[in-house]
Amino acid sequence: MHHADLRELHRLMLVARRLDEEAIALQRQGVLPAYAPAKGQEAAQVGSAAALDLARDFAFPGYRDLGAAVAMGVDLVAYLATHLNIWHGGLYDPRASRLAPFNAVVGGPVTHAVGWAMGATLDDTGGAAITYFGDGASSQGDVHEAMNFAGVYRLPVVFFCQNNGWAISVPTGRQVAGGSVAARAAGYGIEGVRVDGNDVTAVFEATRTALDRAREGGGPTVIEAMTFRMGPHSTSDDPGRYRTLEEEQSWRDRDPLVRAAARLTAGEVAAAEDHATEVVREVREGLLALEAPPAEELFSFVYREPTKALLEQQRTWKESLDA
């Protein structure tokens, strides 16, 4: 997407919201073992991912970035299959979709993105990487090392922090010194931008600017999108134990979908709802129809050449089946 198209961005956000709600329902029904809800963060995810050039850029998501997958046009059944825990990293093709398998390690995708950006520089691909992480992950040492490395080598990477207010149950103020992730960029000699993470067009423009700068050799950017996780950290979390209903309500009034819909016609919003309903139906049916791959694939694609330890594990596993 070359320019911010609010109608299309709203349509994508609505798909992400309704699919997020469906994923929670599927987890409660026992279809998905676990799920990390993204409600409230749709503008940050969709707005940033929609700014990518899928012919040359690459995205490295965390475990709460469904909106990015939606905006990038990834096969959503294959993407959500990751949550079924039946195969290595989902069933979609990361190279074709330009979206890496999502990473459950806190801060894990950040170093991967920097490595990709170094490779892109060496190969002169002209592309840029974007990596997603939260305010809690920003306190991980890996993130600091990645920003420093990217700053030293002026790598084409956008560090996209979704500051949703909470590192699970710890508020940002208790774990981000100085109160700003974007402000840290100055220490690495790179650009830092704080943006309203619930304004999808503002996110799109900030990300597009950062990606353009990266591709043109201007180096990395840290974008801190200020948003709010409206639901729990995961389907096993109870946010009522650490935050108030008043705080949640104050952010509901800033719901990114409500804000976007207010700038569209009733007909456009209704059409987007119809579209989202159809997407959710197709994805639900697709997920329920999936069958587990052969169990022996558990040992496939772990290493290019199987290690002695892996082969021993495979042998032990086969013996256990015959016992």
pLDDT of residue 166: 87
SS3 content of the chain, % helix, strand, coil (to 5): 50, 10, 35
Pairwise CA distance, residues 283 & 123, whole Å: 37
Q: Which of 208, 233, 254, 284 is catalytic?
A: 233
Mean pLDDT, the chain, integer: 93
pLDDT of residue 86: 75
113-139 pLDDT, tens digit per residue, is: 999 999 999 998 899 999 999 999 999
**233 given a catalytic annotation:** yes
Q: Tell me which residue of 132, 140, 154 sits closest to 59, measured CA to CA.
A: 132
Q: How confident is the model at residue 249 (pLDDT cuts 50, 70, 90)?
A: confident
Mean pLDDT along residues 256-264: 97
Q: Which of 64, 83, 98, 229 is catalytic?
A: 229
Strands 157-163 and 221-226: parallel
Q: Which of 88, 242, 252, 281 is catalytic?
A: 242
**303 given a catalytic annotation:** no
At residue 303, does pLDDT exceed 70?
A: yes
Mean pLDDT along residues 74-100: 88
Pairwise CA distance, residues 49 & 47, whole Å: 6
At residue 88, does pLDDT exceed 70?
A: no
pTM comes to 0.93
Where do we find the tokens 């330009």? Answer: 98
At residue 85, does pLDDT exceed 80?
A: no
| DSSP string over 49-62 | HTTS-TTT-EEE--
Question: How does 112-137 read in b/e, with b if 16+ C-beta sit within 10 Å?
Answer: bbbbbbbebbeeebebbbbbbbbbbb
pLDDT of residue 298: 82
pLDDT of residue 293: 81
| DSSP string over 164-186 | -SEETTEEGGGTSTTS-SGGGGG
pLDDT of residue 248: 85
Mean pLDDT along residues 137-153: 96
Pairwise CA distance, residues 142 & 84, whole Å: 28
Mean pLDDT along residues 42-71: 97
Question: Interior CA angle at 282 toward 91 and 83, to 5°?
Answer: 35
19: Cβ contacts below 8 Å, ≥ 6 apart: 66, 70, 76, 80, 276, 279, 280, 283
Mean pLDDT along residues 291-315: 88
Mean pLDDT along residues 242-254: 87
Which tokens sit at 118?
A: 């170094």
30-56 pLDDT, tens digit per residue, is: 999 999 999 999 999 999 999 999 999
At residue 15, does pLDDT exceed 90?
A: yes
181-240 pLDDT, tens digit per residue, is: 999 999 999 999 999 999 999 999 999 999 999 999 999 999 999 999 998 999 998 888
Mean pLDDT along residues 271-290: 96
Residue ranges covered by each domain of the chain = 6-292, 295-323
- Is residue 222 a contact partner of residue 159, using CB atoms and an 8 Å limit? yes
- What percentage of residues in the chain have a pLDDT greater than 70? 99
Mean pLDDT along residues 248-259: 91
| DSSP string over 21-32 | HHHHHHHHTTSS
Alpha helices in 216-307 (DSSP H): 245-252, 256-261, 266-289
At residue 13, does pLDDT exceed 70?
A: yes
| CATH homologous superfamily, domain 6-292 | Thiamin diphosphate (ThDP)-binding fold, Pyr/PP domains (3.40.50.970)
156-166 pLDDT, tens digit per residue, is: 999 999 999 88
**98 given a catalytic annotation:** no
